[in-house]
Amino acid sequence: DAVELGTYRHYMQKEIFEQPQALGNTLEMIAGGNTISPQVFGAHAGEILGATRRVLIIACGTSFHAGLVARYWLESIAGIPCVVEIASEYRYRESVPDADTLVVVISQSGETADTLAALKHAKSLGMGKTLAICNVPESAIVRETALRFITRAGPEIGVASTKAFTTQLAALAMLTLSLAKLNGRLNDEDEARYLTALRHLPVAVGKVLELEPQIEQWAQRFASKQHALFLGRGRHWPIAMEGALKLKEISYIHAESYAAGELKHGPLALVDKDMPVIAVAPADELLEKLKSNLQEVRARGGELYVFADAGSAIEESEGVHILHMPEHYGMLSPVLHVIPLQLLSYHAALVKGTDVDKPRNLAKSVTVE
């Protein structure tokens, strides 16, 4: 183990820092050229994706959060309606099947019992157009689907998923572009622009990883807290969810996530000086809305920790701590914004002295119900 870990203390830390490489490997298929081919999803992908009018994404845990980000991309860029379901819910509820829906299952391990059962359930209802996004080529889930995309994150050992998540997002971005193109929603210029941004991701993630020292300082303050609230909007709401999940999983701090606009409908009642509020604040079209949500938090004495893009114009002040992300990354910004949240939970767990790679009560792959 010590040899494999190299200079890292934990697998989770190693896996966080492997993300540029994992993304680079996953994106290798689009390394050259200015165009994306559906073939990256399998031999018959052109036919199946070309006929796709709806998407149903099924997953658990962190993989579910990747699906939630993809929903924003699929609807806004590809113009394809998308529903995202937790596998353990989908498999037992009476849903309305639709044979033209593309069923996308996302799983790091490819062995999660609920996800596999949900996939088999969808197939039993006549939904045969299936795609697995998975990190393990010979896994049970991959053997069950018509199409597949294997992420190349490499083995993920830490129970809390990190590099699998960002590579799933890369795969889902490629799926979005493929569907957008087949759906006549992507001109050549936009396609080339998105592909350039995708290919630049490893470098962009590398720059975000350099923020670790400041995040380490924030983690010192966090470790003594009992609760934390994560806020985001739009395609960054799932990133707030993922940040809260990471903190719970490895530091055992109770964390909740909310779409920032929902603050006033309940969670605001919890905000006081003992409840740190973490905000994912990219410089996008929702920034002004988010800023007014943050003012509501300050007005109640809540301490704010804001992950703001360069250009967000949110100032440090008493009770408002800002970490500046190197650049705003448009559609793919969720891939960058999850990185500091992974680092925050990692460092909070270090301060607390928990078993980072094997948190209590959790398993890396849940192969029983």
Residues that bind ligand G6P (CB under 6 A): 60-63, 107-109, 112, 115, 159-161, 362, 364-366
Q: Which of 291, 352, 358, 364 is catalytic?
A: 364
| Residue whose Cβ sits closest to ligand G6P | 61
Smallest gap, in angstroms, from Cβ of residue 264 to ligand G6P? 31
For residues 110 and 302, which CB has a smaller minimum distance to ligand G6P in the complex?
A: 110
175: three-class secondary structure by DSSP: helix
Long-range contacts of 49-52 (CB under 8 A, 24+ apart): 49/102, 49/147, 49/175, 49/178, 49/179, 49/182, 50/182, 51/100, 51/129, 52/80, 52/100, 52/101, 52/102, 52/129, 52/179, 52/182
7: three-class secondary structure by DSSP: coil
Characterize 293-312 residue by residue with b for buried, 16 or more Cβ atoms within 10 angstroms of its Cβ, and e for exposed. bbeebbebebbbbbbbbeeb
Smallest gap, in angstroms, from Cβ of residue 4 to ligand G6P? 20
Smallest gap, in angstroms, from Cβ of residue 88 to ligand G6P? 11
Contact 168, 64 (CB under 8 A): no
On the 0-12 / 13-18 / 19+ scale of CB atoms within 10 A, 224 is exposed
Determine whether 364 is an active site residue. Answer: yes
Smallest gap, in angstroms, from Cβ of residue 57 to ligand G6P? 12
Smallest gap, in angstroms, from Cβ of residue 182 to ligand G6P? 27
Specify the length of the chain in residues: 369
> In this structure, which amino acid lies at residue 49?
L
C-alpha distances in Å from residue 87, one per residue of 15, 139, 141: 26, 17, 13
- Other CB atoms within 10 A of residue 85 CB: 18
* Both tokens assigned to 360: 């209590």
The torsion angles phi and psi of 143, rounded to 5 degrees, stand at -70, -15
For residues 112 and 293, which CB has a smaller minimum distance to ligand G6P in the complex?
A: 112
Cα–Cα distance measured from residue 43 to residue 50, given in angstroms and rounded to the nearest whole number: 13
For residues 299 and 363, which CB has a smaller minimum distance to ligand G6P in the complex?
A: 363
For residues 73 and 165, which CB has a smaller minimum distance to ligand G6P in the complex?
A: 165
Cα–Cα distance measured from residue 174 to residue 180, given in angstroms and rounded to the nearest whole number: 10
For residues 161 and 293, which CB has a smaller minimum distance to ligand G6P in the complex?
A: 161
Smallest gap, in angstroms, from Cβ of residue 149 to ligand G6P? 14
For residues 315 and 369, which CB has a smaller minimum distance to ligand G6P in the complex?
A: 369
Active site residues: 364
